[in-house]
């Protein structure tokens, strides 16, 4: 039953299985285990980033496509919910209409980008997607009558979602189903073809697979899943703006999470997102405690100052890449196979 739910892509490592259980149970029980607004926000952000990173890994890890336009589709999903809820009011109909419009727009844009750009070399495709994403962010900031400009849009939710706990478990259920759907996709015959294209596109083309078609389909699927992730973000924040969902910093975070968790595995998105988001939100608090404990040692207290949390996060990232070159999932699976 479990193997079928996971599309027969089992963790293949006891330590990895234990980590996944801890993350899933931690997210499921977060409102009980970690009461407080900050903890709930961090848990919700982890779930949103799991879906976003897993959808990006469908491009990078499974197909070998480097795209910098992924946050554009993330923003489209968030803006779809925000604009519809602002214009039509707090209702389920507005949410459904906004999500549908966002999915259709993402479908059209990803098809255009895929069909016109995937025939060029990888570096040129990456530059094209970066230009498109930058143009879309500028457009979102300038169309203030529709998007709220730099100030963004604040909106209300239907009565059933006024309770944050109900919204949280809605996010949990949708994110869980989306991850299972991604597992099913990457472990299907379609997913195997994507991996073959990643390893050797010329050989895949030679044996009869239209690589442009498969790459375009992968781009479309990744865009649609990213749109769902953006919609979840808007539902949770009840606000959206250019810096909230279209910032290039989000794209950098996604790239870091993919590397930390491990490319070419959905489980890497789960582990990487949990580790990165928790470190990003709590490292400064830990450094503050360490600085207080080392107050009598001026040099050490200055080294662990909370103001240097970004430097410490960078050092942790470098160490993780050095010790886990194939990501946490790859390293744990390698250890298990050697054992």
Kindly report, residue by residue over 252-307, the tens digit of the pLDDT: 899 999 999 998 899 999 999 999 999 888 888 887 787 777 777 767 667 777 77
Domains in the chain (CATH in brackets) are 2-338 (1.10.3470)
Confidence of residue 5 (pLDDT cuts 50, 70, 90): low
Rounding to the nearest 10 degrees, give the CA dihedral for residues 245, 247, 251, 256. -100
Confidence of residue 1 (pLDDT cuts 50, 70, 90): low
Q: What pLDDT shows up at residue 312? A: 79
> How confident is the model over 141-186, as pLDDT tens digits?
888 889 988 889 999 999 889 889 999 999 999 999 999 999 999 9
> How confident is the model over 175-190, as pLDDT tens digits?
999 999 999 999 999 9
For every residue of 202-217, DSSP letters joined together read: HHHHHTT--HHHHHHH
Q: Is the pLDDT of residue 75 over 70?
A: yes
Residue 215: how many CB atoms within 10 A of its CB? 24
Q: Is the Cβ–Cβ distance between 107 and 220 less than 8 Å? A: yes
Residue 180: how many CB atoms within 10 A of its CB? 14
What's the start-to-end Cα distance of the chain, in Å?
A: 26
Give 105 or 286, the one with higher predicted confidence.
Answer: 105
Helices (H), the chain: 2-5, 14-28, 30-33, 37-63, 70-88, 92-117, 122-142, 144-147, 164-186, 189-199, 201-206, 211-237, 242-245, 248-261, 266-293, 298-303, 309-323, 327-338
Q: What pLDDT shows up at residue 339? A: 60
List the structure tokens of 282: 């709590």
List the structure tokens of 128: 């094209």
Q: Is the pLDDT of residue 199 over 80?
A: yes
**b/e map 188-205, b = 16+ CB within 10 Å:** eeebebbebbbeebeebe
Q: What pLDDT shows up at residue 313? A: 79
Q: What pLDDT shows up at residue 12? A: 82
> Stretch 208-230: mean pLDDT, rounded?
92
Residue 222: half-sphere exposure toward Cβ, Cα within 13 Å: 34
Confidence of residue 4 (pLDDT cuts 50, 70, 90): low
Q: What integer best gives the mean pLDDT of the chain?
A: 88
Give every CB contact of residue 7 below 8 A, 6+ residues apart in sequence: 180, 183, 184, 186, 187, 188
Give the pTM.
Answer: 0.93
d(CA 127, CA 195): 23
Q: What pLDDT shows up at residue 309? A: 73
Q: Is the pLDDT of residue 337 over 90?
A: no
d(CA 164, CA 314): 33
Q: Is the Cβ–Cβ distance between 47 and 175 less than 8 Å? A: yes
Q: What pLDDT shows up at residue 2? A: 58
What is the C-alpha radius of gyration for the chain, rounded to an integer number of angstroms?
Answer: 21
């Amino acid at each position: 039953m479990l193997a079928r739910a996971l599309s027969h892509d089992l963790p293949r490592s006891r330590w990895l299985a234990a980590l996944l259980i801890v993350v899933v149970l931690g997210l499921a029980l977060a409102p009980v285990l970690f009461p407080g607004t900050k903890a709930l926000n961090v848990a919700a952000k982890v779930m949103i980033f799991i879906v976003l990173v897993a959808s990006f890994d469908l491009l990078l890890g499974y197909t070998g496509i480097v795209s910098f336009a992924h946050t554009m589709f993330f923003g489209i999903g968030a803006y779809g919910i925000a604009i519809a809820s602002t214009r039509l009011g707090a209702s389920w109909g507005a949410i459904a209409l906004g999500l549908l419009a966002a999915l259709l727009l993402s479908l059209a844009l990803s098809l255009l980008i895929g069909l016109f750009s995937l025939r060029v070399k990888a570096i040129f495709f990456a530059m094209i997607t970066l230009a498109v994403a930058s143009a879309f962010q500028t457009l979102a900031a300038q169309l203030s009558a529709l998007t709220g400009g730099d100030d963004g849009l604040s909106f209300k939710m239907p009565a059933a979602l006024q309770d944050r706990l109900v919204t949280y478990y809605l996010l949990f259920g949708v994110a869980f189903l989306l991850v299972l759907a991604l597992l099913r996709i990457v472990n299907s015959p379609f997913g195997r073809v994507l991996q073959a294209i990643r390893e050797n596109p010329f050989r895949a083309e030679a044996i009869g697979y239209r690589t442009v078609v498969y790459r375009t389909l992968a781009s479309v699927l990744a865009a649609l899943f990213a749109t769902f992730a953006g919609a979840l973000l808007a539902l949770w924040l009840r606000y959206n703006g250019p810096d909230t969902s279209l910032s290039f910093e989000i794209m950098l975070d996604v790239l870091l999470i993919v590397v930390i968790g491990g490319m070419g595995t959905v489980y890497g998105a789960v582990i990487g997102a949990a580790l990165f988001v928790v470190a990003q939100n709590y490292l400064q608090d830990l450094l503050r405690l360490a600085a207080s404990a080392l107050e009598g040692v001026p040099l050490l207290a200055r080294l662990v100052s909370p103001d240097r949390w970004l430097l410490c996060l960078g050092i942790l990232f470098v160490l993780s890449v050095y010790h886990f070159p194939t990501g946490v999932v790859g390293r744990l699976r390698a250890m298990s196979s050697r054992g």
